[in-house]
Amino acid sequence: MLETGRLARRAAVLPAASVTRGAVVIRPLGAQSRFSLRTRPATAEALGTVAGFTLALPINRMSTAGERTSLRLGPDEWLLIGPEAETDELAEAVSAEFGERVFSLVDVSHRNVGIEITGRNAAHVLNAGCPLDLAEAAFPVGMATRTVLGKAEIVLARTGVDAWRVECWRSFATYVHGFLGEGALDFVAVTG
Amino acid sequence: MLVITCPNCGDRPELEFRCGGEAHIARPQTPAELDDGQWGAFLFTRTNPKGVHAERWIHQHGCGRWFNALRDTVSDRLIATYPMGTPRPDAGAGAAPSSPASPTSQP
Ligand SMILES: [Zn+2]
């Protein structure tokens, strides 16, 4: 099988520049390493953290320590996000810490694209295509979950009161990026 | 839009869910000993009640886990959700007389 280098396979699917619509800024995030981790809840509880990623979290919550973020998407599923340069090291470190325990770790770095959306009306822009209640009481800072945006599945994380991270599959990225940009048009002040 | 209570995630919009048909249908332990009629009944015969129905649902665009739900097929109201592997809860006094528990229900 043809082996191609990592850099060659990481061609950007979105423009690097951010889009500004009024107070809303939509910014494609750079390459990062990502892993889908599956293990039993009791195993995760016993370990607490692996390789700097916190596993002992309530379902639908996230935790960030330095450049390492873990998002608990379900009772037995975590999305781990770390620096791109440490992909191989992270996989080895997680595997080593699990040892003989049962787990599965899949490198999904290339599957996903991250988009940051910030600004006063960011939640309303997301609600153009996401059916969740995004008020702070229902979706506080630090919450993270899989959901939908329009016709695409996304992972949505609230990183600040007016700051969100959207993760979507690579082939949905242009759609999701375009959808957010369209949704934000509603919040551009009309002049003249 | 219906709001469905996922046992893991709480109240979520129905867009995130898919229904997987009737719940509590146990696969026969020894399929080789069944005749075609019995196997066909396992595969295709469902209670299809008018009233309270126990169903499997998956939180597809959420935690990704299966769970069971009691739904009234007349009103489309979801009465209760409960984890996979747990017995069907009593449908309660609100259940219509025309909706007895499925005779083929198994814990
Ligand atoms: Zn769920």
- As for the ipTM of the complex, it is 0.88
Domains and CATH numbers, chain A: 15-31+111-192 (3.30.1360.120), 32-108 (3.30.70.1520)
Cβ of B61 and A73 within 8 Å? no
Residues 96-125 of A with CB under 8 A from B: none
What is the per-residue pLDDT for A5?
Answer: 53
Which H helix or E strand runs over A159?
Answer: strand A152-160
Task: Compare all CA atoms of chain B with the CA of A143 and give the residue at the minimum distance.
Answer: B9
E strand intervals along chain B: 3-6, 10-13, 18-22, 52-58, 66-72, 78-83
- In this prediction, the residues of chain A whose per-residue pLDDT falls under 50 are 8
Q: Which residues of B touch A (CB under 8 A)?
A: 1, 8-9, 12-13, 15-16, 61-65
| Model confidence pLDDT, tens digit, residues B54-80 | 999 999 999 999 999 999 999 999 999
Q: Give B-chain residues touching A74 at CB under 8 angstroms.
A: 8, 62-65
Domains and CATH numbers, chain B: 1-25+51-107 (3.30.2270.10)
Cβ partners under 8 Å of residue B22, min gap 6: B46, B47, B53, B54, B55, B56, B102
Cβ of B8 and A145 within 8 Å? no
Per-residue b or e along B67-97, where b marks 16 or more CB atoms closer than 10 Å to that residue's CB: bbbbbbeeeeebbbbbeeeeebeebeeebee
CB A35 within 8 A of CB A107: yes
| Model confidence pLDDT, tens digit, residues A54-76 | 999 999 999 999 999 999 999 99
Output helix, strand, coil percentages for chain A, rounded to the nearest 5. 25, 40, 40
Task: Compare all CA atoms of chain A with the CA of B16 and give the residue at the minimum distance.
Answer: A147
What is the per-residue pLDDT for A16?
Answer: 82
pLDDT tier for residue B4 given thresholds of 50, 70 and 90: very high
Residue B94 has pLDDT above 50, yes or no: no
What is the per-residue pLDDT for A4?
Answer: 52
Between A60, A75, A148, which is nearest B61 by CB? A148
